[in-house]
Amino acid sequence: MTKSLDANWFTEVYDSHASAFSLKVTEKLLDVRSPYQHLEVYATETYGNLMVLDGCVMLTDRDNFLYHEMMAHPALFTHSDPKRVVIIGGGDCGTLREVLKHPGVEHVTQIDIDEEVTKAAKRFFPALTESNDDSRAELLFADGVKWVDEAEETSIDVMIIDSTDPVGPAEGLFKTDFLKRCHRILKEGGVIVQQSESPLYHSGSIIRDLRQGMQEAGFSSVATLPFPQPVYPSGWWSATLAGKECDVTRFREADASASDLAFDYYTADAHRGALVLPPFMRRLLD
Ligand code: SAM
């Protein structure tokens, strides 16, 4: 059955893949042009609230747990004892909330370039910001590239690059030079994880380039973990991990299995399964 969409739909068009994703919206809740990007929030009929940056879907109430859990827990269960964590981007604070679930984490610094994103998250996605007042959390609003440049050498256990796509303000976060600087501030045994776009659309481009960049930056191991994400291009997304003298193809399976943290997607089994790449990805990545 063919049906045309009317004005009540938000649509993100993926020009490069001649496809699109739509959600039926009931109301526009926010429309702000910050110095960095165009931020919109909509109420939708079936996905709760929807955040959009520069026309690209960032998150919805309904399915953000997939992304936020997979950006946080694989890296934290790969590091042997994560205490100091840095999040670059992540202004909606969903990843921060997941990191703070780990009782061993002593300090998390989040650096997002755009305070408007965090303000909007507080108003329209309050569940994601519920841990912001945790005494271990420090929220800064600055360019992540500059912050990393100025950070102390070998001072961080886990870095989470929870950025927008590699265009506009986030472009520098995908460059090998930035990854080298991340390597410098990680302690030995440190782990970095970066959102790395769609396995279906980007295995032979962004994901492959990022993995090469991580290796060139000095990381000794790399692993890409795919996971479902219905509202992102192709409905499928990925997180790429790299280790500084740490094997990111292994993790603390017993700790993850025994964990009583509140997860909706992450499990030790899901982590182990995500480490086994489908053959088409292996072919494109090698
Ligand atoms: N889940 C999202 C996705 O993959 O589409 C990412 C969500 S999070 C909202 C992305 C954040 O990265 C935004 O809040 C944006 O302001 C931030 N960001 C982009 N470039 C940045 C930079 N250079 N430094 C710090 N934060 C940056």
- Cα–Cα distance measured from residue 16 to residue 200, given in angstroms and rounded to the nearest whole number: 13
Q: Is 95 in the pocket of ligand 1 (CB under 6 A)?
A: no
- Fold equal for 9-60 and 64-285: no
For residue 170, how far is its CA from the centre of ligand 1 (angstroms)?
7
Q: Is 117 in the pocket of ligand 1 (CB under 6 A)?
A: yes
Nearest protein CA to atom 8 of ligand 1, as residue: 90
DSSP-derived letter for residue 202 is H
For residue 54, how far is its CA from the centre of ligand 1 (angstroms)?
11
For residue 3, how far is its CA from the centre of ligand 1 (angstroms)?
34
Identify the CATH number of the domain defined by range 9-60: 2.30.140.10
163 pLDDT band (50/70/90 cuts)?
very high
Identify the CATH number of the domain defined by range 64-285: 3.40.50.150
Q: Domain extents for the chain? A: 9-60, 64-285
112 is in an annotated binding site: yes
The pLDDT score that the predictor gives to residue 1 is 58
List, for residues 186-217, the tens digit of each pLDDT value.
999 999 999 999 999 999 999 999 999 999 99
Please name the residues in contact with 66: beta carbons below 8 A apart, sequence gap of 6 or more: 227, 228, 229, 237, 265
For residue 155, how far is its CA from the centre of ligand 1 (angstroms)?
23
CA dihedral 194, 198, 199, 203 (to 10 degrees): -80
Closest ligand 1 atom, CA of 170?
20
Query: Which residue among the candidates 15, 157, 162, 255 is catalytic per the annotation?
Result: 162
For residue 214, how far is its CA from the centre of ligand 1 (angstroms)?
19
Which of 57, 65, 161, 163 to mutate to test ligand 1, by most ligand atoms within 8 A of the CB atom?
Answer: 163
169 is in an annotated binding site: yes
List, for residues 230-252, the tens digit of each pLDDT value.
999 999 999 999 999 999 999 99
Residue 15 among the catalytic residues = no
163 is in an annotated binding site: yes
List, for residues 112-145, the tens digit of each pLDDT value.
999 999 999 999 999 999 999 999 999 999 999 9
Nearest protein CA to atom 17 of ligand 1, as residue: 89
Long-range contacts at 144-152 (CB < 8 A, ≥ 24 apart)? 144/88, 144/89, 144/111, 144/112, 144/113, 144/173, 145/172, 145/173, 145/178, 145/181, 147/88, 147/111, 148/88, 148/178, 148/181, 148/182, 148/185, 149/181, 151/86, 151/185, 152/185
Q: Is 195 in the pocket of ligand 1 (CB under 6 A)?
A: yes
ipTM: 0.96
